[in-house]
Structure 1
Amino acid sequence: MSTDVLFYHLMHQPLEAALPKLLLKCLERDWTVTVQTGTSERRDALNAHLWTFSDDSFLPHGTLEDDFPELQPIYLTHEVDNPNEANVRFLVDKATPPELAAYERVVFLFDGNDQQALGQARQQWKVNKDAGHALTYWQQTDTGGWERKA
């Protein structure tokens, strides 16, 4: 069985603006999510941000340091762990992906203004295409929405 692998190319808004919207959509679909960052510092910054990103909303989430990470609807990590048995995994901040076959959907969210992140996304596209996964590519619009390009 192949995994749906989505590439989201940030162009006009930063990760902190785009990620919460995508995570809200996952929760609306009753999906369990793991978000993997490239560093523990980035994980900690996102951990704080997801509680305060909106005046009228927050995203329920936790990290390994919280009680019962296996019960978190959104789990934040900088490792390849998956204690909440997520069926969706987000990879941000140039995170090194785990084995993707364990997930229904994997989302690479990358900064289009970072040449290293672009290069890594291109490499991951090739690796995952060669592995037989179903790939889609989404580019951020001027208004922060998403347009499918491939």
Structure 2
Amino acid sequence: MSEAGSGEIWFYHLERSTLDQVLPELLDRTLQRGWRALVRVGDPGLMETLDERLWAWREDAFLAHGRADQPHSERQPILLTSDSANGNGAQALFIVDRSDMDASEPFERCFIIFDGRDEESLQHARGRWKTLKEAGANLAYWKQTEQGKWEKAA
């Protein structure tokens, strides 16, 4: 997805928060930037959970979104999908649950979100980092401080 000089790839290492706590915040910031988002999810159960979570994100707000397998998916500001098509013309790609990623995808930014408490996810993310680094990708690594704030560590 990112040869040297193209889009950024940001790794988010979850240690203190869960995916359903972090993802809505990142999606909200993405929309505030004027971008559309594509959330690639491999597990159908997780897709269902995220779909529900985004509608009930906060008491006073929700994140408008849709699923790629539903009508009018191309109009959605946030699109949940399990395939590689960029069905809503998104500028931001979110990779969760070790979903696939194509090295040639033309996104402004890719967020790879992984659970640092799960050894398999951690090893997968390390392997992905190494492969992308060797390919000359524009990488950043973010981790949470003890106060819950995100800090760029690499």
Short-chain TM bin:
over 0.9
Q: 2:82 aligns with which of 74, 78, 83?
A: 78
**Structure 2 equivalent of residue 50 of structure 1:** 54
Alpha-carbon deviation of 1:141?
2.2
CA deviations 1:34-67 (Å, max 9, x no partner) are 0011212211110011001210110010002332
**CA deviation string 1:49-90 (max 9, x = no partner):** 100121011001000233211111100012212110111100
Q: TM-score, normalised by structure 2?
A: 0.92
Choose the corresponding residue for 2:41, options 37, 41, 58.
37
Tell me which residue corresponds to 2:101.
Answer: 97
Q: Is the Cα–Cα contact under 8 Å of residues 33 and 75 in structure 1 kept in the other structure?
A: yes
Quote the residue 2:31 is aligned against.
Answer: 27
Q: How far apart are 1:145 and its partner, in Å?
A: 1.9
Please list every run of at least 4 consecutive aligned residues from structure 1 whose deviation after the TM superposition is greater than 6 angstroms. Answer: none
- Mapping 1:1-150, distance limit 5 Å: 1-150=5-154
Task: Report the alpha carbon displacement of residue 9 of structure 1 after superposing the two structures with TM.
Answer: 0.3
Superimposed CA distance per residue, residues 16-44 of structure 1 (whole angstroms, 9 cap, x where no aligned partner): 10110010000000111100112122111
Q: Distance in 2 between matches of 1:129 and 1:99?
A: 12
For residues 45 and 63 of structure 1, the distance between their equivalents in structure 2, rounded to whole angstroms, comes to 12
Q: Give, in whole Å, the separation in 2 of the partners of 1:76 and 1:145.
A: 26
State the AA in 1 paired with 2:96: V
- 1:56, 1:29 → 2: CA distance? 20
Mapped to 1, the partners of 2:43 and 2:132 lie a distance apart of: 23
Q: How many residues align?
A: 150
TM-score scaled by structure 1? 0.94
Asked if structure 2 preserves the Cα contact closer than 8 Å seen for 1:100 and 1:106, the reply is no
SS of residue in 2 equivalent to 1:81: coil
Go from structure 1 to structure 2 and tell me whether the alpha carbon gap of 1:142 and 1:4 turns closer, same or farther (over 3 Å shift).
same
Q: CA separation in 2, counterparts of 1:100 and 1:69?
A: 23
